Structure 1
Amino acid sequence: MAEEATQNGEAGAQQAPVKMNVLAQFVRDLSFENILAQKGSNGEVQPDVQVQVNLDAKKRSAENQYEVILKLKVESKSKGSDAMLFILEMDYAGVFHIENVPEEQLHPFLLIECPRMIFPFARRIVSDVTRDGGFPPLNLEMIDFVALYRNEIARRQQAAASGEQKLDA
């Protein structure tokens, strides 16, 4: 009976609920360049929009606090001529207090769950900036942060494997 209590106690300690609080979120850097307005337009344009997403996470000095940065780069070109219409670059950061996440799960948690929490706010800023910049509001589609994370891990593993092959040759 004493063994069962110890085992249950350990299991209970290991399964403490994950605690996550968003302490702050802010625009770290924002740039919008309306190239169409600078160069002028020769009539109707059909935009082709490309979005690049990068993530960064780092431990802060306070205990259990992390900063996660969602980096967006949006380029819009005219479909017919490939002339650049606008470029938007934004680093949007969130400060999180996170407890009870096992060490081996912390990296994916920071790069999947945290960006998922702050993305709607970054999306709204992109929409407002493009609208205020003279274009129709750009409503970014939802981002699959799980797929983004898996692709990055696969890319790193492939780069490491090709690096090892080069060293062996």
Structure 2
Amino acid sequence: MLLVFLMLLQNYFRLSPGFCFSDGLASLALLRQGMKDKSSHGVLDWNVTGASICYLGLESIFYFLVTLGLELLPVQKIMSISISDWWQNSKVLKHSAGGSGHLEPLLKDSPDGVLLDIEDDVDVQNERARVLSGSTDNAICYLRNLRKVL
């Protein structure tokens, strides 16, 4: 009973390419040390590496077709609906929780009103000038409200 369960579990885990690779290597190592039972001395025997290689070949074709399907099928309608719902929900959560927006600085000024006159680094000054000049309009990532903190 336990052996049947183990075989079913092994076949379930064979759906993962990582398991197939590691199981094939472990079986090959056990065969070389003479510890692999129920197998012939062939390296490509089904119980040694044959099953792992067969599953890896089938999985490579299957996962390639899944990738092509995800890339080529028109899922824009589903994605646009999901993204718009997510955006509306995030707006509601942000306004209801009173959270700060992503454009506000993370560090607030000190509550005592004491401002330390700290010289900014050259890099900080350059980034601030670049953001304020508007050259980051098409940038993927930029730092807004950048300042030096001690």
Q: Which has the higher contact order (CA 8 A, sep 6+)?
A: 1
**Could you say which TM-score interval applies, normalised by the shorter chain?**
under 0.3
TM-score (norm 1): 0.23
Question: Which of these two proteins has the greater Rg computed from alpha carbons?
Answer: 2
More strand as a share of residues: 1
More helix as a share of residues: 2
